[in-house]
Structure 1
């Protein structure tokens, strides 16, 4: 088996989507031109667990242009664009992905990626990396059992020892991998692509800020103007969502936080800050972006207004207590494609979007191509960096070198037709010396 997708006949539509993304990802296309000439990934086997979108397809084609063999599986059961999966499969990429996978199918896909015996892994949320480590360490779980159904009978400890390194795209995944590193569980080095300036300052803030609202509006078609929006978490993702809420005319934007510095930042940025227990009573639209479990609990939900809308922008579907909501609901019905109405015991109704999963990728298309241009340029350069430095990187989670981060920024400005100043020799000497004072 070389692929498993929903419908291979969707390939032509997928190719058009990929072509559209390529036109809006000029930095990654420049990297592809160099990769095509230099073949820095010749013979490298890459397994990637990423959202299967048109932008991801541009990255995969770039890696293949560099000489790599790529296997692509999802990083979320509901985020695959089936047309794109079909186009990549028809192009000869090993793809195991379709929208609407159940848990078993999702981990079957992860197992398929492992079965290709990668020497580099690419992750968005760390499910591939974590599952490979669990297999190598003999950890038992349902997820591992499902992965074994497609990973086959092999020596996983030997397999993991041959991996040069991996990359991680998102905040949630980096948190998981750093926890593994602290516990001494991590078996190969990881490049935290998420920690690159040209990733988190743009992808997390502007990409998620826009695409989260895109998902909410496609799902509901509600008017944001005049409403009270509650954003749980004021990291870079929360910042972007709150900023766009204000731009869409929200009457009030309330931020909930546990970090005092971020809470203070939100206040200075012009937002109200209060505990979720208080915000729950006055919000119209609630959006979680914390990366942690139960940012909105059942107790919070029971306090909400009749008609409150709940959406999640965090990577995993744990930020809203969906299980608690399911348990107490007196009635449940699907209103629109990605909108489920729950009638609470108190008679009020709340509306959960996208099953509590990533609303921007389930109900919309994810980040705009222009911002993923930088994120995936970092991914391509990170893979090249791992290959060039195989055997030299220490175990742990590393940042991509700043010079590569700055190169992505330089190329992005160049493709936008924007020029900036350069330091003079006098200025270089001044900032590198200590002798001159007042």
Structure 2
């Protein structure tokens, strides 16, 4: 097997990466079951699949499943700090997968890698944050000026007809993040989406588990690895009470923190209050918090004005997909000094005499300062990805250019497989119960 086209940090790390991929695979039995079926049925045969995902051990197991299904896979990173270089090396050197990802890559390299994934003329795409799809659609619309220069160069090389052919060749896409789904629904609303997208994030077996338990545990893990602070007794401010925020708040509370939630949605704010957490605007929370964690999917959640009111020594962390939730540009401009004090910890000293600590450059703290979600929860998320790719091939030409959920029967099948691998059984409806639920005639 020859070495495919790639751009990774160090191929000599391949053996280390393979061992870690195998370790994660032990915790991913649902995906392994799908892979065994894919090896036989080859449902993705002939498909060119380009994926912009976090390059981790769990993602590697997904890639190997897609490859087992017959797909030719190209992979680039969906975040400059989430790539595990040994994993990237192993996929290239030992599995023949084209990977374009280097931990710490700059923005130009990030988009050059996206361009390299698009150069294969993919028939399927996968996204973590919708950067791949948005770049693709800008090319298809001829809006080269709005694309990153690296992507624009591909558009100029292909020409208008080539860009149209590139987009029209895509059967469909999948999206795994809340942030990405928000962007994709905006694309659908604006009428620019050109192919169907499965919002994997909306599957119950994804967001109820990955977002809540995965983000909850991995976010706390990243913060503790970066800082080694004691959470017990600390006031932890969680911005956002979606499924990710619920998970972070639950885990912080479980470690003895006093949790404050900030929200813009009154229903979620009410839920947080009834879950026992203090709820207040960020302007008030800024004055009492010791540790701030943003998980909203929005921008400027923590601003310079909030920072002015924070305690000396407060810690700021983000677990939302993009590095816009903390307004770091304003903080950098106002700071009199910025220096590294620990790996993944920067101290911002301000003229008014206080120092704040920013983790992982405001990027995903669970992936930049730790290893991301545990494999056992990514097992279900990536099962959704694999089945979504298969579903898009089966339904090619029959779906509109809209955002869809994975069919409920596939969602339940993933849950059934997960329960089986855990040795857990649940009840099934009797024929009598099925008739009762289907009838409107029986009442009081």
The answer to whether the superposition gives a TM-score over 0.5 is yes
Whole-angstrom CA distance in 1 between matches of 2:128 and 2:86: 20
The corresponding residue for 1:239 is 246
Contact 2:139–2:147 at 8 Å: present in 1 too? no
Give structure 1 regions of 4+ aligned residues with deviation exceeding 6 angstroms: none
Q: Identify the match of residue 72 of structure 1 among 56, 71, 75.
A: 75
For 1:2-401, list aligned pairs within 5 A. Answer: 2-90=5-93, 91-141=95-145, 143-149=147-153, 153-154=157-158, 155-250=162-257, 252-401=258-407
Q: How much does 1:239 deviate?
A: 0.4
Whole-angstrom CA distance in 2 between matches of 1:13 and 1:268: 46
Contact 2:144–2:155 at 8 Å: present in 1 too? no
How many matched pairs?
A: 437
Contact 1:354–1:362 at 8 Å: present in 2 too? yes
Q: How much does 1:135 deviate?
A: 1.1
Contact 2:244–2:295 at 8 Å: present in 1 too? yes
Q: How much does 1:162 deviate?
A: 1.2
TM-score (norm 1): 0.99
Whole-angstrom CA distance in 2 between matches of 1:231 and 1:366: 18
Q: How much does 1:395 deviate?
A: 1.2
Q: Per the alignment, in what secondary structure is the counterpart of residue 135 of structure 2?
A: helix
Q: How much does 1:157 deviate?
A: 1.0
Whole-angstrom CA distance in 1 between matches of 2:86 and 2:156: 28
Whole-angstrom CA distance in 1 between matches of 2:287 and 2:296: 20
**Unaligned stretches of 5+ residues in structure 1:** none
Deviation digits for residues 311-367 of structure 1 (CA, Å, limit 9, x no counterpart): 001000000010001001011110011000011111100000000000000000000
Contact 1:111–1:151 at 8 Å: present in 2 too? no
Q: How much does 1:148 deviate?
A: 4.0
Q: Per the alignment, in what secondary structure is the counterpart of residue 420 of structure 1?
A: coil
Whole-angstrom CA distance in 1 between matches of 2:204 and 2:145: 36
Whole-angstrom CA distance in 2 between matches of 1:210 and 1:141: 41
Contact 2:301–2:326 at 8 Å: present in 1 too? yes
Q: Per the alignment, in what secondary structure is the counterpart of residue 323 of structure 1?
A: helix
**Unaligned stretches of 5+ residues in structure 2:** none
Contact 2:155–2:163 at 8 Å: present in 1 too? no
Q: Cα RMSD over matched residues?
A: 1.0
Q: Per the alignment, in what secondary structure is the counterpart of residue 5 of structure 1?
A: coil
Whole-angstrom CA distance in 2 between matches of 1:323 and 1:363: 21
